[in-house]
Amino acid sequence: MALQKNYTLPNGVVGSYWRADGVLVRNGQGVAYLSLYLDEPTRRNGAEPLVTRHHTLDGFTVEAMSEAGYNPYKIAYEQTKAGLVLDGDYGFDDAEDV
């Protein structure tokens, strides 16, 4: 699971491949660590992420976890697409699932 959407860093580098590199769950909340890579082949070749952002997510209930097959990454991706906004106006609602 990953999301594809271009993002321009302050130094002008454009990455397009967002991957959840970690999800921590505790007491119904989660923290997802989204890493931006130049592209998917670059990530698969072992490159370090251009940037990693973390954000807090709600909704990690027993019911939600059960519906997601006890896969916290699935919930993190769904919530990221549904409403996460970075830098004021950069959202993931139109990101492509890859």
pLDDT single digits (tens) 26-64: 888 889 999 999 999 999 999 999 999 998 888 778 788
Residue 57 belongs to a domain: yes
Instruction: Name, in order, each residue with C-beta under 8 angstroms of 25's C-beta and a sequence gap of 6 or more.
Output: 60, 72
Residue 51 belongs to a domain: yes
| 3-class SS of residue 21 | strand
Q: Is the pLDDT score of 12 beyond 90? A: yes
Residue 60 belongs to a domain: yes
Residue 82 belongs to a domain: no
pLDDT in tens, 64-76: 888 888 888 888 8
What pLDDT does 85 receive? Answer: 80
Residue 97 belongs to a domain: no
Residue 52 belongs to a domain: yes
Residues pairing with 8 in the sheet: 14
What pLDDT does 34 receive? Answer: 94
Domain that holds residue 26: 3-76
What pLDDT does 59 receive? Answer: 76
Element (H, E) at 78: helix 72-83
Task: Give the count of domains, the chain.
Answer: 1
Mean pLDDT of the chain: 90
Residue 24 belongs to a domain: yes
Residue 94 belongs to a domain: no
